């Protein structure tokens, strides 16, 4: 095991986070592996729903293991995320390698993404007082709209689109994470879920989530990426004025998309991620944008 892994694993065992056998389903069969074949190395992130650990499987495959503690709410989250990951295939959705369950926890084994959460990159660039290249932001926007168009086409509402749930990998790819809060469009949730800063106004008034509330969240994310400051929605004229200054030349379409997504009324927002995607794709996304993102992350060093 890696440095400190034995003591780390013993600590997990004391908390009943490990069972002696875990089930890793494959396309053709179900493989049962012993805990001796899983090396828990370190915690990666602890969120409100689950904790994610860095691990090695079969002494060769690095993976991220997302553990939900068993409870009615968390079991629902786990089952939703498992079903969505099993039923989707998109370049911007992490691959599901397996799943397991014991008496106290439920777990997802996911491909390991090496890179930066968008939230950390925004904070890093803010600290350096450097803006993110608009070419990179346009590329990220197109990738996010592509995966949003895909999941919305499957009647999935993500509900928690935020910079923390977007990862930019060192090879320049863009991923949307954390489908534990996602719901089916036909069964909207009555209470809002997600970070308040990125929630559409109607959700705060008790309205159910919808495809256009996801688009509002995306608009808030892109606004923050462009200006390195959150969208507060307190003074639209002032905030959109700042947006216009940054996107005044050659990026009017990106400005229009962000403003449309951030419309306070859901009736005024675009009804389709596919439609927005077609607008942004009218300007060619060069292959160098992905390379520039990879170069930015490399120069920034490893995310802390």
Q: Which CATH code fits 115-300?
A: 1.10.510.10
Cβ–Cβ < 8 Å for 64, 100: no
Supply the pLDDT for residue 4: 40
Q: Which residue, chain included where needed, has tokens 């090695």?
A: 56
Sheet of 96-101, strand order: 38-46, 50-57, 61-69, 105-111, 96-101
Q: What is the pLDDT along the chain (304 residues), one digit of tens a residue?
A: 333 444 444 444 444 444 434 444 443 333 444 455 667 788 888 777 788 989 888 777 899 989 888 888 888 889 989 999 999 999 999 999 888 777 788 888 899 999 999 999 999 999 999 999 999 999 999 999 999 999 999 999 999 999 999 999 999 999 999 998 898 876 666 566 778 999 999 999 988 888 999 999 999 999 999 999 999 988 889 999 999 999 987 899 999 999 999 999 999 999 999 999 998 887 777 678 999 999 999 998 887 6
CATH no. of 5-111: 3.30.200.20
Q: Report the pLDDT value the prediction gives residue 39, as an integer from 0 to 100.
A: 77
CB atoms closer than 10 angstroms to residue 132: 20
Name the segment(s) of the chain with CATH classification 1.10.510.10: 115-300
Tokens of 226: 């462009």
Q: Where does the chain hold its CATH 3.30.200.20 domain(s)?
A: 5-111
Query: Which stretch of DSSP H or E encloses residue 21?
Result: strand 21-25
pLDDT for position 257: 96
DSSP H/E element including 244: helix 236-246
What is the residue whose two structure tokens read 């491909």? 111
Q: What pLDDT was estimated at residue 255?
A: 95
Among left, alpha and beta (phi > 0; psi -120 to 50; other), residue 18 is beta
Residue 199 DSSP one-character state: S
Q: Are strands 30-34 and 166-169 parallel, antiparallel or unpaired?
A: unpaired
**What sign does the dihedral 174-45-198-89 (CA atoms) show?**
positive
What are the contacts of 125-133 at 24+ separation with CB within 8 A?
125/228, 126/228, 126/229, 131/226, 131/228, 131/246, 132/225, 132/226, 132/228, 132/296, 133/292, 133/296
Q: Residues with catalytic annotation?
A: 160
H or E segment to which residue 7 belongs: helix 5-14
Q: How far apart are the first and last CA of the chain?
A: 22
> For the whole model, what pTM was predicted?
0.86
**30, β-bridge pairs:** 25
Give yes or no for a contact between 153 and 89, defined as CB atoms under 8 angstroms apart. no
Name the E strands within 50-179: 50-57, 61-69, 96-101, 105-111, 115-117, 156-157, 166-169, 174-176
Token pair 């004025």 is at which residue? 241
- What is the pLDDT at residue 24? 43
Give the closest residue to 115 by CA, choosing from 296, 302, 292: 302
């Amino acid at each position: 095991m890696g440095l400190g892994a034995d003591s780390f694993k013993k600590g997990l065992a004391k908390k009943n986070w490990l069972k002696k056998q875990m089930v890793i389903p494959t396309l053709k069969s179900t493989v049962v592996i012993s805990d001796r074949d899983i090396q828990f190395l370190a915690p990666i992130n602890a969120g409100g729903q689950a904790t994610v650990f860095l691990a090695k499987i079969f002494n060769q495959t690095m993976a991220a293991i997302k553990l939900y503690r068993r409870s009615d709410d968390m079991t629902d989250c786990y089952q939703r995320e498992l079903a969505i990951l099993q039923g989707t295939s998109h370049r911007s959705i992490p691959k599901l390698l397996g799943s397991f369950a014991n008496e106290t926890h439920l777990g997802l084994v996911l491909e390991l993404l090496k890179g930066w959460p968008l939230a950390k990159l925004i904070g890093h660039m803010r600290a350096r007082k450097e803006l993110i290249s608009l070419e990179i932001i346009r590329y990220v926007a197109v990738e996010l709209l592509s995966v949003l168009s895909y999941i919305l086409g499957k009647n999935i509402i993500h509900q928690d689109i935020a910079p923390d749930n977007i990862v930019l990998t060192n090879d320049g790819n863009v991923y949307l994470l954390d489908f534990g809060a996602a719901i089916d469009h036909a069964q909207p949730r009555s209470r809002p879920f997600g970070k308040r800063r990125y929630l559409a106004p109607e959700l705060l008034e008790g309205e159910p989530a919808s495809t256009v509330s996801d688009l509002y969240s995306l608009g808030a994310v892109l606004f923050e990426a462009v200006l390195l400051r959150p969208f507060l929605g307190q003074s639209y004229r002032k905030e959109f004025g700042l947006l216009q200054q940054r996107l005044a030349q050659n990026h009017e379409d990106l400005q229009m998309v962000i403003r449309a997504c951030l419309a306070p009324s859901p009736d005024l927002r675009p009804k389709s991620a596919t439609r927005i995607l077609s607008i942004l794709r009218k300007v060619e996304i060069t292959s160098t944008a992905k390379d520039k993102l990879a170069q930015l992350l490399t120069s920034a060093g490893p995310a802390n």
